[in-house]
Structure 1
Amino acid sequence: MYQEVILDHYRNPRRWGELSPATVSHTGENASCGDELTFDLRLAEDGETIEEVAFTGEGCAISIASASLLAEELQGMTLSDVRDLDRDDALDLLGIELTPMRVPCAVLAEKVVQDGVESYADG
């Protein structure tokens, strides 16, 4: 069941694309395998709530599916909520056990978003 969800999100990623203008835009990569993701966030007028999310990139099924699943979760979250995410949250979204070699693929999206939020906060 979860493998079907992963394949569906890989083949048909949700929130795929770019936001223009974006309040936060950040790119990151998994150096061990070459996966690369860019996340764009548009914040609401309060400057804290994520109003819209989009992402693009190239990578394996796990990294793209994880990014798609996370992108769906991010809308409506606050920047503080994003800072509180941890690798278990990303792994729970996928819902399957992963080998240690695949974990970096699964958590790449979370890392890219968190790094982008930190860069934005540092202004």
Structure 2
Amino acid sequence: MESDNLEFILDHFKNPRNYGTIEDADFSYEEGIPSCGDVIRLDLRIKNNKLDDIKFSGTGCAISQASVSILTESVEGMEVSKVLSFTDNDMLEALGGQVSPIRFKCALLGLTVLKKALIEKKSAP
């Protein structure tokens, strides 16, 4: 991992953006990776079919926590349909494209949780 990219990841890990909870969230979703113990919870508020507010909490390695911080910055204000089309490659690019393949699960946990949350909300009555 290049020095600039490492600094970027560490900055998001040490100073996470959008960390916390949304008291009046439309819905929340939590999931983790049992094999390593990383857990991410997302609180979401949707307004006019856009992701109006997004906050996260959880525990885990620097990669999982930094990636969800970066993800929240990337998708806040985005239309739900566009968020659902955000790909694994988009997420890896947002991380600087230099995540080791053995850390992909950690890097993609936030995106996985976000998509599952939106799909579950969409299918709810």
Paired with 2:79 and 2:27, the residues of 1 have a C-alpha distance of 13
Alignment of structure 1 residues 20-31 onto 2, 5 Å: 20-31=23-34
Deviation at 1:31, TM superposition (A): 2.3
Deviation at 1:116, TM superposition (A): 0.3
Q: CA RMSD in A?
A: 1.0
Instruction: Quote the sequence identity (%).
Output: 36
2:98 maps to a residue whose letter is E
Alignment deviations for residues 73-119 of structure 1 (CA, whole Å, 9 cap, x no partner): 11111110111011101111110422222000000000000000011
TM-score by length of 2: 0.92
Paired with 1:106 and 1:24, the residues of 2 have a C-alpha distance of 23
2:117 alignment partner in structure 1: 116
Which blocks of at least 5 consecutive residues in structure 2 are unaligned? none
TM-score by length of 1: 0.94
Paired with 2:13 and 2:102, the residues of 1 have a C-alpha distance of 19
Which blocks of at least 5 consecutive residues in structure 1 are unaligned? none
Alignment of structure 1 residues 95-114 onto 2, 5 Å: 95-114=96-115
Q: How many residues align?
A: 121
